[in-house]
Amino acid sequence: MDSPPPQSFALVITGAPYSSQAPQTALNFAEAAIRAGHKVNQVFLYGDGVHLASNFASPPSDESDWPALWRVFIESHQIPATCCVASALRRGLLDETESRRYEKTGANVTAPYAIAGLGEWLESTLNSSRTLYFNPDH
Amino acid sequence: MTDRRFLFVIDTAPYGHWKGREILDMAFSAAAFDQPAALLFTHAGVNWLRSGQLPDAVQQKSVSKNLSAAMLFGLEAIYVCQESLDHFGIGKPDPGLELVVLASTSDLEARFTDVVRL
């Protein structure tokens, strides 16, 4: 069987870890896609999906650490990863800059994640063959 | 890069869930960047189109005001599913909105490259 021509994907995750399976499903997809020779152009966390970017998540040691697994994956494949700023600020996901701006006591978002607007989602969509949305139902 | 056409589907009621607002933000963002984009209200999403909403009573901001900006942002169309309007007993949706009521929405998605549901 001929393999399909390589595709490039933008991934949008809108389900939070530990309340939905969306981050796990998206990670499985992303790993399979790269293994099959495709490219993941961008990971965009939107809505409750921004919780995946938290450095403060501390799940029990006998459970999968989805935020850590995602971070390793993004770094090892050097995939640009963005938290939607409007979703992140509402839910208390802040990098150093936003933490200072809003005079909060901590910052839980660091590299590889950047905090930016929906322009990143649109740009990566336009530069990818497809955008897949991983929702809380997935 | 191929030309894209976006359909944003809102299928939840306006004040019980945040995701409709998040889809609307995506739709406005796409339209603001000159991408062909349309909205589809279906299932409980048709409740967005009720006139005379009183969001203050539930300490929320009106979604009607957001929605009436849709045409200003350059959205191509606001589609509504007739069956869902009937199901929720909405005889006369918000007269301030230009709506395209569809007897069937099954052919609609095929006209778009990107169908976005959250």
- Give B54's pLDDT tier (boundaries 50, 70, 90): confident
Task: Look at residue A27 and tell me if it is in a domain.
Answer: yes
Residues B40 and B24 sit within 8 Å (Cβ to Cβ): no
pLDDT, tens digit, 9 for 90 and up, residues A105-134: 999 999 999 999 999 999 999 999 999 999
DSSP-derived 3-state class of residue B38:
strand
DSSP-derived 3-state class of residue B57:
helix
Q: What is the reported pLDDT for B1?
A: 55
Report the gap between the CA of B105 and the closest CA in chain A (Å): 21
Q: Which of B18, B33, B117 sits opposite A47 (nearest CB)?
A: B18
Q: Which residues of chain A have a CB within 8 Å of the CB of B26?
A: 46, 118, 121
- Give B52's pLDDT tier (boundaries 50, 70, 90): confident
- Give A1's pLDDT tier (boundaries 50, 70, 90): low
- Give B104's pLDDT tier (boundaries 50, 70, 90): confident
Name the pTM for this structure. 0.93
Instruction: Round to whole Å and give the CA distance between B64 and B92.
Output: 15
Task: Look at residue A105 and tell me if it is in a domain.
Answer: yes
Q: Which residues of chain A have a CB within 8 Å of the CB of B8?
A: none
Structural domain including A113 reads: 8-56+64-134
Q: What is the mean pLDDT of residues A99-108?
A: 97
Q: Domain spans of chain B?
A: 6-116
The residues near A25 (Cβ < 8 Å, ≥ 6 apart) are: A134, A138
Q: What is the reported pLDDT for A38?
A: 97
User: Class of the B6-116 domain?
Assistant: alpha beta
- Give B53's pLDDT tier (boundaries 50, 70, 90): confident
Residues A105 and A56 sit within 8 Å (Cβ to Cβ): no
Instruction: Round to whole Å and give the CA distance between A85 and A91.
Output: 10
Q: Which of B4, B116, B117 sits opposite A126 (nearest CB)?
A: B4
Total tally of structural domains belonging to chain A: 1
Task: Look at residue A101 and tell me if it is in a domain.
Answer: yes
Q: What is the reported pLDDT for A101?
A: 97
Q: Which of B22, B114, B118 sits opposite A131 (nearest CB)?
A: B114
B2 pLDDT above the threshold of 70 = no
SS3 content of chain B, % helix, strand, coil (to 5): 35, 20, 50
Task: Look at residue A2 and tell me if it is in a domain.
Answer: no
Q: Which residues pair with B10 in a beta bridge?
A: B41
Is A20 an interface residue toward B (CB < 8 Å)? no
Instruction: Round to whole Å and give the CA distance between A72 and A43.
Output: 13
pLDDT, tens digit, 9 for 90 and up, residues B56-91: 888 888 777 778 888 788 899 999 999 999 999 999
Q: Which residues of chain A have a CB within 8 Å of the CB of B30?
A: 122
Centroid of chain to Cα A87: 13
Looking up residue A15, the CATH number of its domain turns out to be: 3.40.1260.10
pLDDT, tens digit, 9 for 90 and up, residues A12-61: 999 999 999 999 999 999 999 999 999 999 999 999 999 999 999 999 99
